[in-house]
Amino acid sequence: MAKQETGLARTARLLDLVPYLTTHQGVAISELAKTFNTTVKEITDDLNTLWMCGLPGYTPLELIDLEFESGFVSIRNAETLAAPRALDRAEALSVYMGLDLLSAELSSSNESLTSEIANLQDQLRTQLISAPQVQIEASLSSEFRALILRTIRRRGWLEITYHSAATDQVTKRRIAPYELSQSGSHEYLQGYCDSAKGIRNFRADRIVTVQEIADQVWPSTQVAANDQSIRYQVKIHSATRQVLEVLPQVAAGSATATIEGYSALWISRAILSLAGQVEAVEPAEIKAAVHARAKAALGNYH
């Protein structure tokens, strides 16, 4: 009789499969079975399970996209899966509880792995204690989403209340919405902003309220998406996870990066928040703004 596989063993194999497949695109299922010391049927069952796994959001944009009908396995969204992510409170709590289950299933003889789990739980516990209790919604409510999509179809206008990361203020905007799109782990609403007189992207989880404006249609003369944009260059001293999250245009391993933004205030705040991991190179205005804000911050300690 074949030995019954434990849930822990299968979970461990599933976790190992994804990074292995990203570096072995087009590997044969039979070869996978040999590598992971299992059967073709079990590997096929694992691949079918991976179809239902992915990043939060769990739409086709975030789920693992596999191709293995031909007998050879490829992952089509490996770059998305490789992007570093920060855990929110709910995600950190889920991982913490999962580690508890893993620790309980391990035998007492496996002290090394038990110790590693305990260390990871200590780090998660620190995050859970320091994380704010009130969380911003991770996505649009169904009511807001339906209103936005209806307004896009009728080519109308909306008034939104929006929390700006650049100024750290909540303001009202009149916008003509064009599209809802996904970029990385965030959803964005793109539209013509009447205040900025140009096309802007609004992160969905920072939209507080949405209200339809009746009897008004899209502007006849639209400003191009790149109008009034600011191109700036940064030098990367340390491409940490924080850097890649704040400035997702930075490629891991790069020494410099040229990025496009729309707010000089947001750019200077973002660079300053990275505490020396990234240095502003040009234009001179951005470099001077970062220097001035850093000097002002240091002055508060005297």
Express each pLDDT in 105-122 by its tens digit: 776 667 788 888 888 888
Q: Where are the domains of the chain?
A: 7-82, 89-130, 142-213, 230-299
Query: Can you give the pLDDT at residue 139?
Result: 65
Q: What is the 3-state secondary structure (H, E, C) of the chain?
A: CCCCCCHHHHHHHHHHHHHHHHHCCCEEHHHHHHHCCCCHHHHHHHHHHHCCCECCCCCCCCECCEECCCCEEEECCHHHHHCCCCCCHHHHHHHHHHHHHHHHHCCCCCHHHHHHHHHHHHHHHHHHHHCCCCCCCCCCCHHHHHHHHHHHHCCCEEEEEEEECCCCEEEEEEEEEEEEEEECCEEEEEEEECCCCEEEEEEHHHEEEEEEECCCCCCCCCCCCCCCCEEEEEEECCCCHHHHHHCCCCCCCCCEEEEEECCHHHHHHHHHHCCCCEEEEECHHHHHHHHHHHHHHHHCCC
CATH class of 142-213: mainly beta
Level-2 CATH architecture, domain 7-82: Orthogonal Bundle (1.10)
Express each pLDDT in 117-169 by its tens digit: 888 888 887 766 665 543 434 467 778 888 888 888 888 899 999 987 666 67
Q: pLDDT band for position 77 (50/70/90)?
A: low
Query: Can you give the pLDDT at residue 81?
Result: 59
Summary mean pLDDT of the chain: 77
Q: Kindly state the percentage of the chain with pLDDT values over 90.
A: 4
- What mean pLDDT comes out for the span 240-264? 75
